[in-house]
Structure 1
Amino acid sequence: MSNAEIIRSHYAASDRGDLDGMLAPLASDVRWTEAAGFPYAGTYVGPDAVAANVFARLQEDWDDYTVAIDEVIDGGDVVVGIGTYSGTNRATGRFFAARVAHVWRLKDAEVVAFEQFTDTEMVSRALRDPSTGSGTRA
């Protein structure tokens, strides 16, 4: 299986809601970085930290949260996924859609690093209470 196919299988598992399938290609010491300004910003080390600090929180905080990947670019040991995030924040009831790019770095058929690039302002707008304009923490 090529590195691009490994990443496509991660996205397919995400589409199915299959957490084990999403975590399967991650190395035990994967460094997963969510963009500054994103509600879950930071770098998490290891699949358990990614599951708890990213995937579980997305499930808790958003209704119908999805990532629709339009293109996977095969750069060998570096794979890029380009698509759109969308969802409705449970606390505010506000919907968002934002373009996203994921940069995946693989070694020996395992994901060793992930970095997210997205329009965090679009997400922030969904987190703000429309009646007060103040933020809520997702």
Structure 2
Amino acid sequence: MRTTYELVRDHYAANDRKDLEGMLADIAPDCRWTEMDGFPCAGTYVGPEAIVEHVFMPLGAAFDNYTFTLERLLDAGDAAVAVGNYTATHKATGKAMNVRVVHVWGASDGKIRRFEHFTDTLRVAEAMK
């Protein structure tokens, strides 16, 4: 069975390939995905379908070239911590953003069960104004 680190590494590899099916492959049906308060899609969503509907689709609709670039991935046993940057251009304003971000992941039984993200929501909001 793959470790949390390996599951998350594989998720990011699928993200880099723009492979949505691959990104969702290891997300458990009961995964609790939390987007930070103040972020455009803030809230906690449960399961792959809710994540796509409330996170991936709205971000894709609001931004061009929305990208997460992984700088480093840290193995913390049953957790993994990713550090990187979001870059994108807001479609309505034409403003670009480049924002630092941290993702905290948890997994058990070979599936991703938790995701929480931390970022500078002010910088995101500035791109949207």
TM range (shorter): over 0.9
Give the number of the structure whose alpha-carbon radius of gyration is greater.
Answer: 1
Instruction: Quote the offset at 1:109 in angstroms.
Output: 1.5
Q: CA RMSD in A?
A: 0.7
The SS at the match of 2:23 is helix
Q: TM-score, normalised by structure 1?
A: 0.90
In structure 1, the residue matched to 2:80 is 79
CA contact (8 A) 2:3 2:78 kept: no
- Equivalent pairs: percent with the same residue? 48
Give deviations 1:79-99, integer Å, cap 9, x for gaps. Answer: 001000010000110000110
Give deviations 1:13-53, integer Å, cap 9, x for gaps. Answer: 11111111111111101100000000000000111000111
1:86 maps to a residue whose letter is T
Total equivalences in the alignment: 128
The SS at the match of 2:112 is strand
In structure 2, the residue matched to 1:94 is 95
Alignment of 1:47-126 (within 5 A): 47-126=48-127
**Unmatched 5+ stretches in structure 1:** 129-138
Structure of higher RCO (CA pairs closer than 8 Å, 6+ residues apart)? 2
Q: TM-score, normalised by structure 2?
A: 0.96
1:46 aligns with 2:47: yes
